[in-house]
Amino acid sequence: MAEENKKGADVEIKVLFFARARDLAGGVSEMMLQVPSGSTAQDCLSKIFTKYPELEQIRECMVLALNLEYTPESVVVNNKDELAIIPPISGG
Amino acid sequence: MAEENKKGADVEIKVLFFARARDLAGGVSEMMLQVPSGSTAQDCLSKIFTKYPELEQIRECMVLALNLEYTPESVVVNNKDELAIIPPISGG
Amino acid sequence: MDSENEKTLVEILEPNIQVDLAKYIKFVSNPQSGAIATFSGTTRDTFEGKIVVELRYEAYVPMAERQIKSICSSARLSWSLEAMAVAHRLGSVPVGETSVFVAISSVHRDDALDACKYVIDELKASVPIFKKEVYANGEVWKENSE
Amino acid sequence: MDSENEKTLVEILEPNIQVDLAKYIKFVSNPQSGAIATFSGTTRDTFEGKIVVELRYEAYVPMAERQIKSICSSARLSWSLEAMAVAHRLGSVPVGETSVFVAISSVHRDDALDACKYVIDELKASVPIFKKEVYANGEVWKENSE
């Protein structure tokens, strides 16, 4: 993936919305998102929140997962990564 | 039962032997025992141990139950009581 | 609680009767409960390197039932429990089969889980049930160390 | 242990498939084990005084499976365990039915009992599964408080 992350080139990631996050995103469960190479998950979130401002309601209680692992927002995303918006969990 | 416990009159109890206690009592699982009124469980034990001296092997690790409850040896037995010799337990 | 007796089932099973786990799980299931914890004690094939053929259990049955009921009542004082079932098999229990089963339901999970551990610990510590381990070359009455 | 993967079963069940307790108990049963601890989470009929009609679950399935397997591996570091099975149902789970089931076997009972509590606690704390409570007059996404 390093080659696809050349300075200035865009990377495309898949964003997943679950449960209340999906509801707040108007029922959308997944979307593709283009961001500049070197962008962090937080940069992605800014674009996502611009598109779906209702998500602000869970801004303080949601977490992120990148490629099936919980991740801090400071992580740099790579092309074809899968970023998930995880609202408060309630399994069991 | 109080009337049957007049000073000097005998009381009759049932004695039960379980597991290793039964083995040490030659396979006897229960016996009737007459003791003077006012006798304690310890008095009963003395007679039982005279009859089945092999029981000395578990003297330090056995406990007693009187009428389905664990009991100290100092308890006074009454007519028709059921006294059980409980070797080390191992349920489960 | 008025219906405590109806919600506590204690059974000492005669030889050759297997422990019916589904029956006891069903007994403790109800719409009020959000949690069911269970514990099964099973015969394992080795003990301290010796090969176990089977375990043989006997009990002072009426006292064992009384003691187990007392343990259940005591557990209800410490935790908020819905239904409880405790069964212990007698006679021969072959390797892999269940000798003792505890099932407890509660509204919240910690109550059922903690009470389940308490009940099996107390049962092993105080209920007059006796186990003989049968090896290929002998047998011995066991003593719970705990 | 070489065979750890063979001895750990994790299943996220599609909607309308009930949790088959007997199947998972059988999976964890084996001659080496002396203990099996299980936990069932079931839908209860009321929550904070409101009448619950059903719970509806969804999950980030591949991540949930991965997280649960990670929890099982972590449990094996803390306790000596034989086999582990964890199942979680998706879709609608009516009152009285099981949404989550954990079954763990071990040689000695404390390992299975303590690991069972750990696994359900961790599952509720970290696995991306989401529950909507459906009442007679509305519905709400839940949040595990623990």
Q: pLDDT (tens digit, 9 = 90+) per residue, A18-59? A: 999 999 999 999 999 999 999 999 999 999 999 999 999 999
CA–CA min distance C66, chain D (Å): 24
Q: Would the pLDDT of C58 be above 60?
A: yes
The token pair at C66 is 């009384």
pLDDT digits (tens, 9 = 90+) for C12-27: 999 999 999 999 999 9
| pLDDT, position C47 | 85
Q: Smallest Cβ distance to C62: which of B19, B68, B88?
A: B68
Cβ–Cβ of C57/B91 closer than 8 Å? yes
Write out residues 59-78 of B within 8 Å (CB-CB) of C.
Answer: 61, 65, 68-70
Q: What is the mean pLDDT of chain A?
A: 93
- Chain C CB within 8 Å of residue B27 CB: no
Of residues D69, D79, D88, D2, the one with CA closest to residue D37: D79
Q: How far is C-alpha D9 from the geometric centre of its chain's CA atoms?
A: 11
Tell me, what's the ipTM? 0.92
Give the C-alpha separation, C83 to C76, whole Å: 10
pLDDT tier at A4, thresholds 50, 70, 90: very low
What pLDDT score was predicted for residue D146? 54
Contact D130, D141 (CB under 8 A): yes
Residue B52, both tokens? 């089945």
* Interface size, chain B vs chain C, as Cβ–Cβ contacts under 8 Å: 72
* Nearest-neighbour CA in chain A from D129: distance (Å): 5
pLDDT tier for residue A1 given thresholds of 50, 70 and 90: very low
d(CA C60, CA A66): 60
Decide if B89 and C99 are in contact by the 8 Å CB cutoff: no
- Is a pLDDT exceeding 70 seen at residue B8? no
Chain B touching partners, 3 or more CB pairs below 8 A: C
Pick the closest to residue B74 from B41, B46, B32 (CA basis).
B41
**Confidence (pLDDT) at A8:** 62
How far apart (Å, rounded) are the C-alpha atoms in residues C91 and C97?
12
Q: Put residue C126 in one of left, alpha, beta given phi > 0 → left and psi -120 to 50 → alpha.
A: alpha
Q: What pLDDT is stored for residue B4 in this prediction? A: 47
Q: What is the mean pLDDT of chain D?
A: 94
Ranking B6-10, B22-26, B85-89 by mean pLDDT, the lowest is B6-10
Phi, then psi, of B31 in degrees rounded to 5? -150, 155
Judge whether residue C140 has pLDDT over 70.
Answer: yes
Q: Taking Cα atoms as reference points, which of C109, C119, C97 lies closest to residue C36?
A: C109
pLDDT value of residue A7: 55
| Cα D50 from Cα D63, distance rounded (Å) | 32
B91 touches chain C (CB under 8 A): yes
Contact C35 D40 (CB under 8 A): yes
Burial label for B8, CB within 10 Å (0-12, 13-18, 19+), is exposed
pLDDT tens for C25-47 read 999 999 999 999 999 999 999 98
At residue D145 the predicted structure's pLDDT band, cuts being 50, 70 and 90, is confident
Contacts with C42 from chain D: Cβ below 8 Å: 29, 33-36
Instruction: Find, in chain B, the residue whose alpha carbon is nearest to that of C125.
Output: B89
Q: Extract the tokens encoding D71.
A: 């929890």
The neighbour count for residue D90, using CB atoms within 10 Å, is 20
What local confidence, expressed as pLDDT, does residue D137 receive? 86
Residue B66 to residue B72: CA distance in whole angstroms: 9
Chains B and C touch (3+ CB pairs under 8 A): yes
- Radius of gyration of chain A, Cα coordinates, nearest whole angstrom: 13
Instruction: Quickly count: other Cβ atoms within 10 Å of residue D35's Cβ.
Output: 23
pLDDT digits (tens, 9 = 90+) for D118-134: 999 999 999 999 999 99
pLDDT at res. C49: 85
Task: Judge whether C136 and C53 are in contact, CB under 8 Å.
Answer: yes
Q: Which residue of C has its CA nearest to B91?
A: C129
Size of interface A-D (CB pairs under 8 A): 72
**What average pLDDT score do residues C82-111 get?**
97
What is the C-alpha separation between C106 and C30, in angstroms, rounded?
Answer: 9
Q: What is the pLDDT of residues D92-117, one digit of tens each?
A: 999 999 999 999 999 999 999 999 99
pLDDT at D5: 60
pLDDT of residue D47: 85
Share of chain B above pLDDT 90, in %: 90
To which residue do tokens 């056995």 refer? B62
Q: What is the mean pLDDT of residues D62-88?
A: 98
